[in-house]
Structure 1
Amino acid sequence: MTTPAVPSAVAEVLAQHTAAVRARLLQVRDLIYMVAAEAEGVGPLTETLKWGEPAYLTEASKSGTTIRLGVVKSAPGQCAVFFNCKTMLVETFRVHFGNNFTFEGNRALLIPTTGDLPTEPLSLCLRAALTYHRRTAGRDATSRPPPVASLRR
């Protein structure tokens, strides 16, 4: 799978970050596209800006919730992967992957710009977001976190 070219508006936002943050955000972007391509029913992604940050939507399939990339003021040297704060996603990630990431409230997981990208746990988190609406159909989206097995599908 080839990752699409970065849209110019997204490239402009990424260019405002330090080289280290930009490089890591681009790695996460590549992983988002890879996971989307491998996850059944996700389909093509829409890449746009939301709140001035790169955002990835499952607009065609409506299978998931938006993923945004950026930084948070409390940790400007780290990359933030934002998820909808009205979901249980970040709480679920904290329960299952607390050793792999630090978190910003119920809205983001933080990734250092140095060292290896935690590809396997991050892929599972991204898959959970990209398939969120498929998994929550018929159940209350604010109920307790799903078991880790459901993140691996």
Structure 2
Amino acid sequence: MPELTQAAWEGLPEDLAEKLIQLRELILATADDNPAIGPLEEKLKWGESAFLTSATGSGTTVRINRHKKSEDKYAFYVHCQTDLIERYKQLYGDRLVFDGRRAVVFDVKDKLPIDAVSHCIAMALTYHLRS
């Protein structure tokens, strides 16, 4: 994991950091599984781990961090001017929790719904490929 990412998560409760690591790994695996996405650039944006499709320009940035400084919630974020959250709600409104127009929120005590989240991540990382 890049040092910048590790630094962003220093001091977080261990269970929260573990969930963020799992979510990070899912983002990287999702990108690896889709050649259209290409390699991701991982950096910090607003103090949060951010994943950019700099090489291909295929998608919008995905960020991950704890949610609203919570000890037991974490989230992945997409650009608020996309329609991604609305699309996620149509597909997974019964399985995922949303905050506004930019966040999908998870509780550390819950199992991450891998299939739904992976699909949402893929939709974000290929957002600019839509016709």
TM class by shorter-chain length?
Answer: over 0.9
Matches within 5 A, 1:79-98: 79-98=74-93
How much has 1:75 moved relative to structure 2? 5.0
3-state SS in 2 of match to 1:69: strand
Q: Find the counterpart in structure 1 of residue 95 from structure 2.
A: 100
CA contact (8 A) 2:72 2:109 kept: no
Aligned partners of 2:4, 2:80: CA distance in 1, in Å? 25
Query: Which structure 1 segments of 5+ residues have no match?
Result: 1-5, 137-153
Letter of the 2:46 counterpart: W
Q: Does 2:16 correspond to 1:14?
A: no
* Partner residue, 1:31: 26
State which structure, 1 or 2, has the greater radius of gyration over its C-alpha atoms. 1
Tell me which of 112, 120, 129 is aligned to 1:117: 112
Query: Counterparts of 1:42-61 in structure 2 under 5 Å?
Result: 42-61=37-56
Contact preservation (8 Å) 2:58, 2:127:
yes
For the residue of structure 2 that corresponds to 1:127, the secondary structure is: helix
Length-normalised TM-score, structure 1 = 0.81
Could you say which residue in structure 1 is the equivalent of 2:124? 129
The letter for the 1-side match of 2:124 is A
Identity of aligned residues (%): 35
Change (3 A) 1:8 1:30: same
Q: CA deviation at 1:90?
A: 0.7
In the TM superposition, residue 99 of structure 1 has moved relative to its aligned partner by: 1.7
**Matched length:** 131
TM-score, scaled to structure 2: 0.94
Q: Which amino acid aligns with 1:89?
A: L
Shift of 1:107: 0.6
Q: Secondary structure at the match of 1:64?
A: coil
SS of the equivalent of 2:4 reads helix
Q: Which letter does structure 1 place at the counterpart of 2:27? A: I
What amino acid is the match of 2:77? F
